[in-house]
Amino acid sequence: MKAVQIIQPGEVKVVDIPVPKIGPGEVLVKINFVGFCGSDLNTYSGKNPMVQLPVVPGHEISAEIAETSEGVPEHIQPGMLCTVNPYTACGQCPSCRNGRPNACRFNQTLGVQRHGAMAEWITVPWEKIIPDRDSRLSKKAFALVEPLSVGFHAVSRAQVTDSDTVMVIGCGMIGLGALIRSVIRGARVIAVDVDGAKLALAGQLGAAYTVCSKTEDVHARLQDITNQAGPDVVIEAVGAPATYRMAVDEVAFTGRVVCIGYAKTEIAFETKLFVQKEMDIRGSRNALPEDFRAVMEYLGRGACPEDALISGIYPPEQAREALEKWKSDPGKVFRILISFE
C-alpha cells in the first residue's frame, strides 16, 4: 500500500509498505484524510528530538472502518466514519493511575514515537476508535478533530466558566480550539495573534475582542477591556518566550494560566508574580476521549467554517510540497490535509 514517509530532514517519499494485518481486538481502517501537525513540520525541519527517522507521520485522522476482529464490540461496525485517538497509555504511571492517560509518562503518539497514519490503511485497538454514530460530520472534518481537541482540553484544564474572561494567545488550530470551547462555555474571549487573517477568523468563531500583538499595545488593550483587572484565564498556544511572559504578566490576580505551546528555549520570569498573584500555572497535554467527542459534537452542528481551517489538500505525492509551503510561511497555515481518497 501507499504511505508517506519522512526519510530525513527535508526528504519525503511515497513508499510501498505491506497492508497491516488485523489482530484480535483490532480494527482495520481505510484512511480518507490525514492532517499535518506542527510535530510533523518539526520532524521535516529536523527540529523534533522525540522522533526516530524514517517515520510515517500523521495523527490527525479521518478514516472509515473497513474490518473488525474478534473481541471488537458490536457498536463498532464496518462502514462507519471515525477518527482515532492517536496516543498510547501505559496504565501504570502516575498520570494513568490518576485518570489522566493523555499525559502518560510513556505515551507514544502516532507519527512521532511510532509510525503514524499517513498511509492507505492502518490497524488500531478498538478502544482508540471514535466513531460518528450519527453520521453528521464530513470526511474532512474528522481530520480537524484531534488538533481542535487539544485546545478543548486546555479549556477543561483551565476550568473555564461563563463568568470568566479568557485570553487566548495564538490563533492557530489549537488556539482556535481553546477559543471555541471557551465561547461554548459562555466565557468572554480575547484573541491575541500577530496575523490579521487569523484574528478575523477568531472573531468569526466568537471572540468578543481581537488584539494584534504586532501593532497594538497588548497590555493597554487588556487593561481597557477588563477594567484594569486582567483576564481571569490565559491560554498560551504559541510556545515562545515572549508569549509565556505575556501570560504571566497579564493574567489577573488569582487567575489561571494554561500552557499548551512548547518553548524551545529557557524562559526567565518575574517569579514574584507567581506568589503575589497566587496564580495557578497548569500544563495541558494532548486530549481525552471526552474532548474528542466534544469537538465532534461541535462540528456536527454545522456552524464551524471547516474550509477556512483547511489551508490546502494534497495527494501523497505532493506531501513534500505541502510541507515546504507550510515551512516557508508557517503563520499563514491552519491545517494541510493529505488525501487518500
Torsion of CA 310, 314, 316, 318, to 10 degrees: -120
- Would you say 5 and 312 are in contact if contact means Cβ atoms under 8 Å apart? no
Specify the 3-state DSSP secondary structure of 81: strand
- The whole-angstrom separation of Cα 250 and Cα 220 is 10
Cell numbers describing residue 18: 505491506
Chain position carrying cell 501523497: 316
Supply the pLDDT for residue 159.
Answer: 98
Supply the pLDDT for residue 184.
Answer: 98
Cell numbers describing residue 44: 521535516
105-141 CB burial, b ≥16 within 10 A, e <16: eebebbbbbebbbbbebbbbbbebbbbbeeeebbebb
List the chain pLDDT tens, one digit each, 341 residues.
Answer: 999 999 999 999 999 999 999 999 999 999 999 999 988 999 999 988 888 899 999 999 999 999 999 999 999 999 999 999 999 999 999 999 999 999 999 999 999 999 999 999 999 999 999 998 777 899 999 999 999 999 999 999 999 999 999 999 999 999 999 999 999 999 999 999 999 999 999 999 999 999 999 999 999 999 999 999 999 999 999 999 999 999 999 999 999 999 999 888 899 998 999 999 999 999 999 999 999 999 999 999 998 999 999 999 999 999 999 999 999 888 788 899 999 98
- The whole-angstrom separation of Cα 39 and Cα 59 is 10
Residues β-bridged to residue 159: none
- CB neighbours of residue 196 within 10 Å: 12
Supply the pLDDT for residue 330.
Answer: 81
pTM metric for this prediction: 0.95
- The whole-angstrom separation of Cα 60 and Cα 271 is 37
Here the contacts of 101-104 (C-beta below 8 Å, separation 24 or greater) are 101/288, 102/153, 102/285, 102/286, 102/287, 102/288, 103/283, 103/285, 103/286
